[in-house]
Amino acid sequence: MTNVLILCTGNSCRSQMAEGYLRHFTGNKINIYSAGIETHGVNPRAIEIMRRDGIDISKQTSNNVSEYSSIPFDFVITVCDNARENCPWFSSKAIKLHQNFPDPAKASGSEEEITESFDAVRDMIKQYITKFVQQYLSGLR
Judge whether 13 counts as a catalytic residue.
Answer: no
Q: Which residue is catalytic, options 7, 65, 80, 129?
A: 80
Judge whether 8 counts as a catalytic residue.
Answer: yes
Judge whether 87 counts as a catalytic residue.
Answer: yes
End-to-end alpha carbon distance in the chain: 14
- 14 neighbors 99 (Cβ within 8 angstroms): no
Give the integer Cα–Cα distance in Å for 120 and 126.
10
Q: Which residue is catalytic, options 4, 6, 7, 8?
A: 8
Neighbours of 105 (CB within 10 A): 18
Q: Which residue is catalytic, options 87, 94, 107, 120?
A: 87
Give the integer Cα–Cα distance in Å for 45 and 113.
13
Active-site residues, by number, are 8, 80, 87
